Amino acid sequence: MFSRFRPIDCDLHPMVPGMRALTPYMDEFWRDQVEERGITTLDTQSWPVRSPKTIREDWRSEDGRGAATVGLLQAQSLDRLGTDLGILNPLYGVQLVFNEDMAAAFTRALNDWTRAEWLDRDPRLRASIVLPLQSIEASVAEIERLAPDPRFVQVLVLVMGEMPLGRRQYWPILEACVRHGLPLGIHAGSAYRHPQTSVGWTSYYLEEYAANQQAFQSTLASLLTEGAFSKFPDLRVVLLESGVTWLPSFLWRLQKTWKGVRFEVPWVDRLPTEIVRDQVRLTVQPLDAPEDGAIVQRVMDQLRSDALLLWASDWPHWQYDGDAAMPPGIPESLWPKLMRDNPLATYGRLREGVVA
Partner 1 sequence: MRGRSTGSRAVARIVVAPVGEIPAGGRKLVEAEGKRIVVFNLGGEFYALSDRCPHQGGSLCAGLVSGHVESREPGVYHYARRGEMIRCPWHYWEFDIRTGKSWFDPKRVQVRQFPAQVTTGAALVEGPYVAETFPVKVEDDYVVVDA
Asked if residue 100 lies in contact with residue 132, where contact means CB atoms within 8 angstroms, the answer is: yes
Stretch that binds partner 1, among 59-67, 262-270, 275-283, 298-306 (CB under 8 A): 262-270
Strand order in the sheet with 309-310: 8-12, 85-88, 125-130, 152-160, 184-190, 237-240, 280-283, 309-310
Under the criterion CB under 8 A, does residue 259 sit at the interface with partner 1? Answer: yes
Stretch that binds partner 1, among 4-12, 98-106, 119-127, 254-262 (CB under 8 A): 254-262
Q: 268: which residues sit within 8 A by CB, 6+ positions away?
A: 224, 225, 227, 230, 258, 262, 275
One symbol per residue from 208 to 247: x for binding partner 1 (CB under 8 A), - otherwise; what is it? ------------------xxx-xx----------------
Instruction: Determine which residue in the list 29, 201, 252, 267 makes contact with partner 1, applying CB under 8 A.
Output: 267
Half-sphere exposure of 91 (CA within 13 A, CB side): 28
Helix extents (H) in 265-331: 272-279, 293-303
User: Judged by CB, which is closer to partner 1: 97, or 220?
Assistant: 220
Instruction: Determine which residue in the list 179, 262, 277, 298 makes contact with partner 1, applying CB under 8 A.
Output: 262
User: Judged by CB, which is closer to partner 1: 99, or 257?
Assistant: 257
Instruction: Determine which residue in the list 258, 311, 315, 347 makes contact with partner 1, applying CB under 8 A.
Output: 258
- Cα–Cα distance for residue pair 221/219, rounded to 1 Å: 5
Under the criterion CB under 8 A, does residue 307 sit at the interface with partner 1? Answer: no
How many residues bind partner 1, per CB under 8 A? 16
* Residue 217 C-beta: closest distance to partner 1, Å: 20
* Residue 270 C-beta: closest distance to partner 1, Å: 8
User: Judged by CB, which is closer to partner 1: 230, or 283?
Assistant: 230
One symbol per residue from 162 to 181: x for binding partner 1 (CB under 8 A), - otherwise; what is it? ------x-------------
* Residue 253 C-beta: closest distance to partner 1, Å: 13
- Cα–Cα distance for residue pair 91/88, rounded to 1 Å: 9
Nearest by Cα to 7 from 244, 313, 333, 328: 313
Amino acid at 67: A
Reduced to 3 states, what is the DSSP secondary structure of residue 290? coil
Stretch that binds partner 1, among 3-11, 125-133, 267-275, 320-328 (CB under 8 A): 267-275
Q: DSSP state, 26? A: S
- Cα–Cα distance for residue pair 147/340, rounded to 1 Å: 23
Residues at the site binding partner 1, with contacts judged by CB under 8 A: 168, 226-228, 230-231, 258-263, 266-267, 269, 271
